């Protein structure tokens, strides 16, 4: 690809939603130049993620999307975006699985998928039923709150293996980037970390990392509160 990397375009929506900033963390960690294009939620034809303009890059009407002028690739779904960034730009394996055994690779993927299919969506639904649902539904709110806490239990257990330093033993990786913005939403979701000292510690540590601070500043306009 040569040394002159053109900036990757990361599509986001300011502070609305935790998924785009995950990709920014990985790009920052790898020193891949990128520029952020901001959209808004809703169906404005030109500016909205459910509008006709945005549908040209993602027919699913959601963020993030990345467009890479170096390869011509367009990706959406944060898992696919992250895998793409790793395949193309993490050739020295700075933020992927530390070990190479079949178990190491499965461990990496299982935590990624657990975030993408469980902790992320459960937190998203908790937020929806707490803040946005047009008609209150206490049963649904309780269900998703419990399910999010159940995911926190699992993460807290895993963090015992590293004393809260990283989700997978050995180093901070893409797995931590996937979790960080979702877990950071805990208080917005009306949840408490009182019973989760290691998650609290991990979140504080994540806040001090340069690539994470830079990602928040570039995507959401402010660094995370430490």
**Binding footprint of ligand GSH on the chain (CB under 6 A):** 17-19, 41, 49-50, 61-63, 77-79, 116
For ligand GSH, give the closer residue by CB, 42 or 99. Answer: 42
- CB of residue 133 vs ligand GSH: minimum separation in angstroms? 13
For ligand GSH, give the closer residue by CB, 23 or 206. Answer: 23
Exposed, middle or buried, 101 (CB in 10 Å: 0-12/13-18/19+)?
exposed
Distance between CA 49 and CA 60 in Å, rounded?
9
Give the number of residues written for the chain.
Answer: 226
- CB of residue 52 vs ligand GSH: minimum separation in angstroms? 15
Rounded to the nearest 10 degrees, what angle do helices 138-159 and 174-184 cross at?
Answer: 140
Closest-by-Cβ residue to ligand GSH is 17
Q: Please, are residues 54 and 48 in contact by the beta-carbon 8 Å criterion?
A: yes
**Tokens 């993927």 -> residue:** 109
- CB of residue 17 vs ligand GSH: minimum separation in angstroms? 2
- CB of residue 92 vs ligand GSH: minimum separation in angstroms? 26
For ligand GSH, give the closer residue by CB, 76 or 196. Answer: 76
- CB of residue 63 vs ligand GSH: minimum separation in angstroms? 4
Buried-state track 62-93, b at ≥16 Cβ within 10 A, e below 16 = bbbbbbbeeeeebbbebbebbbbbbebbbeee
For ligand GSH, give the closer residue by CB, 19 or 148. Answer: 19
DSSP state of 161: G
For ligand GSH, give the closer residue by CB, 18 or 97. Answer: 18
For ligand GSH, give the closer residue by CB, 60 or 187. Answer: 60
- CB of residue 120 vs ligand GSH: minimum separation in angstroms? 7
């Amino acid at each position: 690809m040569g040394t002159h990397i053109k900036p990757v375009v990361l599509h986001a929506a300011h502070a609305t939603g935790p998924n785009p900033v995950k990709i920014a963390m990985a790009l920052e960690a790898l020193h891949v130049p990128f520029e952020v294009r901001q959209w808004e939620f809703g169906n404005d034809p030109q500016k909205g993620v459910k509008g006709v303009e945005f549908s040209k890059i993602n027919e699913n009407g959601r963020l993030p999307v990345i467009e890479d002028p170096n390869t011509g690739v367009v990706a959406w779904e944060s898992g696919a975006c992250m895998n793409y960034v790793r395949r193309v730009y993490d050739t020295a394996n700075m933020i992927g699985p530390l070990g190479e055994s079949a178990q190491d690779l499965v461990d990496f993927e299982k935590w990624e998928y657990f975030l993408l299919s469980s902790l992320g969506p459960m937190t998203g639904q908790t937020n929806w039923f707490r803040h946005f649902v047009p008609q209150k539904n206490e049963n649904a709110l309780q269900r998703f709150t419990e399910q999010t806490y159940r995911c926190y239990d699992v993460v807290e257990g895993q963090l015992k293996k590293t004393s809260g330093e990283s989700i997978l033993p050995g180093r901070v990786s893409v797995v931590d980037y996937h979790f960080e913005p979702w877990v950071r939403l805990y208080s917005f979701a009306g949840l408490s970390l009182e019973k989760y000292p290691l998650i609290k510690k991990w979140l504080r540590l994540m806040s001090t990392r340069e690539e994470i601070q830079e990602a928040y500043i570039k995507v959401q306009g402010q660094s995370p509160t430490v």
